[in-house]
Homo-oligomer: A and B are copies of this chain.
Amino acid sequence: MSYMTELGERAKQSAAILAGLGTEAKNQALYAVAQALEDGCAAILAANETDIGLARDNGMSDAMVDRLRLTQDRIAGIAGAVRHVAGLEDPVGRVLDGCTRPNGLHIVKTAVPLGVVGIIFESRPNVTVDCAALCLKSGNACILRGGKEAIHSNTTLVQIIRNALDKRQIPADAVLLVEDTSRDIANEMMRLNGFIDVLIPRGGPGLISSVLQNSTLPVIETGVGNCHAYVDADADLAMALDIVDNGKTSRPSVCNALETVLVHRDVANKFLPRLRQRLARVELRGCPETLAILGGGVPAATEDDWLAEFGDYILAVRVVSGIDEALAHIARYSTSHSEVIITNSYENSRRFTQEVDSAAVYVNASTRFTDGSEFGLGAEIGISTQKLHARGPMGLRELTSCKYIITGNGQTR
């Protein structure tokens, strides 16, 4: 039996037990995990120091090193997030639908765990604990495959979680870490049908694309966002500036950040100079009309710019003739994550929300709200940009499937 198959087998066996755990048992386990993480702070920091030393030796950038770094405060934050998950509603066992059929059959559709969730992610070690906590709360076993830069941190974190579970008579194999970070093992994980029920990649476009190409498992695609704002003719321009500024500059690296702003021709002369002033630290890349209005210093936007998720202080700007052209631009270039119209036109707000085919469509609010916590889901395992199973922020409910339970008294067909 290969290393991955053995992990799969262990996860599957623990999943059968996890599915039957009550809410209280799961919550107590989560509180124990949070406490163990705080108690294990010194060991976690030591392991993290090893990862950071190796990262520095390998010439990792300061920004990346910062993502990798754990501190006592960050560990307290991670433990706090685990306690927060314990406080959320248990998604398992909800009655989703049901009926009594004319023949007397009683049919109840109930929420059950997915089973074994595989997660492939990149460097930040807090993701390790987040995913483990969300899977545990939703009754799923998880197989976690983090980046090799964080392997020492992840190994220690998962060991602490497993010990805490074991002490509470919950199978330690509820949380499994793939300790071999080679690409071959990742590829084997992507084809572990029969053991992994769902695979969730969390990371950049390269990771997502590799999983989509190679996996034979059901996959939930996450987090690629080329988000658009459309400033309509009768928009409140001060509000539009606030929303575009917030969308672009509050955290440019995240998937719900704005990448392109489309401006109605009627307000372009007024809006664009104010936009340049407000976003002084942002590089604008414009269409020919934008350039004509703003004069020198603004580079022309290329086809690649319309397609780009910059993840940086760069914003593509295009003047459009109206909502039709805005909708057409979005249909062509968007990754269907989040888009916003800023308008006071009822009719245009209605058309925009109906015709834009994205997970989250906003009127007069920042796209930065596309997030599990901001949507009131309590926590988030990722943001789905596909249409199957889940779309938009995925919370605990999105980590469940369903089972039909049918009771009768001898019915045959």
Residues of A within 8 A of B (CB): 16, 19-20, 99, 101, 105, 107, 112, 114-115, 193, 197-198, 212-213, 216, 218-221, 236, 239, 242-243, 245-246, 250, 331, 349, 353-355, 357-366, 368-370, 374-376, 386-389, 391-392, 401-413
Contacts of A354 in B (CB 8 A): 20
A221 to chain B, nearest CB (A): 8
Chain B residue nearest to A411 (CB atoms) is: B365
Query: Are the C-beta atoms of A193 and B218 separated by less than 8 Å?
Result: no
Contacts of A216 in B (CB 8 A): 212-213
Option from B221, B349, B406 in Cβ contact (under 8 Å) with A407: B349
Option from B197, B212, B363, B413 in Cβ contact (under 8 Å) with A387: B197
- Interface core residue of A99, A245, A374 (most chain B CB under 10 Å): A374
Query: Are the C-beta atoms of B401 and A368 separated by less than 8 Å?
Result: no
A228 to chain B, nearest CB (A): 15
Option from B16, B236, B369, B413 in Cβ contact (under 8 Å) with A366: B413
List 19 A-B residue pairs with CB atoms under 8 Å apart, sorted by A's residue number: A16-B355, A20-B355, A105-B365, A114-B387, A213-B216, A218-B387, A218-B388, A220-B388, A239-B410, A360-B403, A360-B404, A362-B407, A362-B408, A363-B408, A366-B413, A370-B404, A389-B389, A391-B402, A391-B403
Query: Are the C-beta atoms of A366 and B401 separated by less than 8 Å?
Result: no
Option from B221, B375, B410 in Cβ contact (under 8 Å) with A243: B410
A158 to chain B, nearest CB (A): 24
For the complex, give the distance between the alpha carbons of A359 and B105 in Å: 16
Chain B residue nearest to A198 (CB atoms) is: B388
Option from B114, B250, B361, B405 in Cβ contact (under 8 Å) with A404: B361
A41 to chain B, nearest CB (A): 31
Contacts of A16 in B (CB 8 A): 331, 355, 357
For the complex, give the distance between the alpha carbons of A140 and B16 in Å: 36
Query: Are the C-beta atoms of B404 and A375 separated by less than 8 Å?
Result: yes
A366 to chain B, nearest CB (A): 4
Contacts of A360 in B (CB 8 A): 403-406
Contacts of A331 in B (CB 8 A): 16
Given A198-B388, A391-B404; 18 other pairs, CB 8 A cutoff:
A16-B355, A99-B376, A105-B365, A114-B387, A115-B357, A193-B212, A197-B386, A197-B387, A197-B388, A218-B219, A218-B221, A236-B410, A246-B413, A250-B413, A353-B407, A361-B404, A365-B411, A387-B401
Query: Are the C-beta atoms of B107 and A406 separated by less than 8 Å?
Result: no
For the complex, give the distance between the alpha carbons of A409 and B355 in Å: 21
Contacts of A219 in B (CB 8 A): 218
For the complex, give the distance between the alpha carbons of A353 and B212 in Å: 34
Chain B residue nearest to A389 (CB atoms) is: B389
Chain B residue nearest to A213 (CB atoms) is: B216
For the complex, give the distance between the alpha carbons of A386 and B410 in Å: 28
Chain B residue nearest to A412 (CB atoms) is: B246
Contacts of A355 in B (CB 8 A): 16, 20
Option from B20, B212, B405, B413 in Cβ contact (under 8 Å) with A369: B413
For the complex, give the distance between the alpha carbons of A389 and B401 in Å: 7
Complex A-B, nearest 7 residue pairs according to Cβ-Cβ distance, in ascending order:
A365-B408, A246-B412, A387-B401, A389-B389, A218-B388, A239-B410, A365-B411
Contacts of A369 in B (CB 8 A): 105, 406, 411, 413
A86 to chain B, nearest CB (A): 22
For the complex, give the distance between the alpha carbons of A218 and B199 in Å: 12
Contacts of A212 in B (CB 8 A): 193, 216
Query: Are the C-beta atoms of B388 and A114 separated by less than 8 Å?
Result: yes
Chain B residue nearest to A219 (CB atoms) is: B218
For the complex, give the distance between the alpha carbons of A404 and B359 in Å: 6
Option from B368, B392, B405, B411 in Cβ contact (under 8 Å) with A413: B368
A70 to chain B, nearest CB (A): 25
Query: Are the C-beta atoms of B412 and A353 separated by less than 8 Å?
Result: no
Option from B359, B363, B403, B407 in Cβ contact (under 8 Å) with A364: B407
